[in-house]
Structure 1
Amino acid sequence: MSLTFLLTTLVVVVTPGTGLVYTLAAGIGRGGRASVVAAAGCTLAIVPHVLATVTGLAALLHAGATAFQAVKYAGVAYLLYMAWATLRDKEALTVDAGAAPPALRRVIVTAVLINLLNPKVTIFFLAFLPQFVAPGEPRAALRMLGLGGVFMLVTFVVFAALGVLAASVRDRVIEHPRVMAWLRRTFAGSFLVLGATLASE
């Protein structure tokens, strides 16, 4: 494994995207535990993308305009739903000491769907992983699976760390309604922009 692969992976992971935005939102809105669960969900959703790349399904998806468009617009629709739901749910970024624990099942399901319905992840792996496999390598598939596993590990560690960091400042901003309203609009706007970006590509 090369240093170039690790550095490229780190840059890609820390670049703001749907998964990272949702993990940060979970950290501020629900706390550190929820942010770690969200990070795990986003990481878990990478598995089908890696498998699709290794088995050649990603190439088929990329070549088939109809299939790509269907998956792409399903992802766009879900991102728009997330933007609407974030603006509508004013309780998502509030804290009640006597409230029941957050529904972590809902957090992980949402996190999985966000990354699972993003065809850009599949196309990224299609272009990214083969660059680090030597031509004619007898175990190319196993090597790509290994590289995909490293990418997933880095994703989980970075997402979880940033999510917990966001949760650590939660109590400081939670007492200010205007700040919370601004954060809610920011997260909703982020989902909206990411959805629009995906739709335009």
Structure 2
Amino acid sequence: MSPEFLLTSLVIVASPGTGVLVTLSAGLTRGAKAAIVAAFGCTLGIVPHMLAAITGLAALLHTSAVAFETVKYAGVAYLLYMAWMTLKEHGTLKVDTDNTPRSSMEVIWSAILVNLLNPKLSIFFFAFLPQFVGSNEAHPLPGMIQLSLVFMAMTFVVFSIYGVFAAAVRDHIISRPKVLTWMRRTFAAAFVGLGLKLALTER
């Protein structure tokens, strides 16, 4: 496995995006365990894109304007929904201080949807993985699967680090209502910004 693949993957994974926001918010509002669960959900959200790229289905998104736009705007709508729910204090930055916190499955499904509704991920895998598989390999599929699993492992580890760090400063944040209010606004603005960025993306 080439160092170039590892370095490129690390840069991509560590770059701020929707998955990072979801994991950070889980750590800030529900603690380290929820952050790790969210990181796991974001990692699972990569699987459909990985399979699409490996099987060639990503080519459909690349060539079909209708398919691409449908998935893209579903993703935009979901990001705007998350922004609205965050502002309404019922979404990603809802602080659970009672005994009935958001279930792990809810966190996982929310995290999966964030990555699932981003068609650029499928196209990214479609273009990214083949660059690190030898052109002379008779059976490239095992190599692509191995690289994908490494990418997923890096995603889980990096996102978990983000989330656990956020959980470490959780008490300092939730004890200050004004700070939490501004964080909600910041996260909501970030979700809107990511939604607009996705809306403006081309195939």
Q: TM-score range by the shorter chain?
A: over 0.9
Q: Deviations over 1:152-185 (max 9, x none)?
A: 0000000011101101000011111110001111
Which residue of structure 1 aligns with residue 75 of structure 2? 75
Q: Which residue is 2:9 aligned to? A: 9
Mapped to 2, the partners of 1:104 and 1:182 lie a distance apart of: 26
Q: Quick one: distance in 1 between partners of 2:39 and 2:146?
A: 20
Write the distance in 2 (CA, Å) between the matches of 1:90 and 1:104.
16
Partner of 2:130: 130
Tell me the SS of whatever aligns to 2:183: helix
Unaligned runs of 5+ in 1: none
Q: Do structure 1's residue 53 and structure 2's residue 53 form an aligned pair?
A: yes
Distance in 1 separating the partners of 2:19 and 2:190 = 11
1:91-115 Cα offsets, whole Å, 9 max, x none, are: 844352x432332221111000000
CA distance in 2, matches of 1:100, 1:75: 29
Tell me the TM-score normalized by structure 2. Answer: 0.95
CA contact (8 A) 2:96 2:102 kept: no
- Cα distance per residue 1:131-151 (max 9 Å; x no partner): 101113112111111100000
Distance 1:90 1:125 in 2: 33
1:118 maps to: 118
Unaligned runs of 5+ in 2: none
Give the residue type in structure 2 aligned to 1:141.
Answer: L
Give the conservation status (yes or no) of the 8 Å contact 2:41–2:109. yes
Which one-letter code corresponds to 2:30 in the other structure? R
Partner of residue 95, structure 2: 94
Q: Runs of 4+ in structure 1 displaced over 6 angstroms?
A: none
Helix, strand or coil at the partner of 1:16: coil
Aligned length: 200
Task: Please give the alpha-carbon distance, in whole angstroms, between the structure 2 residues aligned to 1:90 and 1:117.
Answer: 21
Counterpart code for 1:171:
D
For 1:58 and 1:94, locate their aligned partners in 2 and report how far apart those are by CA, in whole Å.
38
The one-letter code of the counterpart of 1:3 is: P
* Residues 46-69 of structure 1: CA deviation (Å, up to 9, x unaligned): 111011001110112211111111
Contact 2:80–2:195 (Cα < 8 Å) also in 1:
yes
Which amino acid in structure 1 is aligned with residue 195 of structure 2? G
The answer on whether the counterparts of 1:93 and 1:180 sit within 8 Å (CA) in structure 2 is no
* Residue 90 of structure 1, CA deviation: 5.7
- Give the counterpart letter for 1:139 in structure 2: H
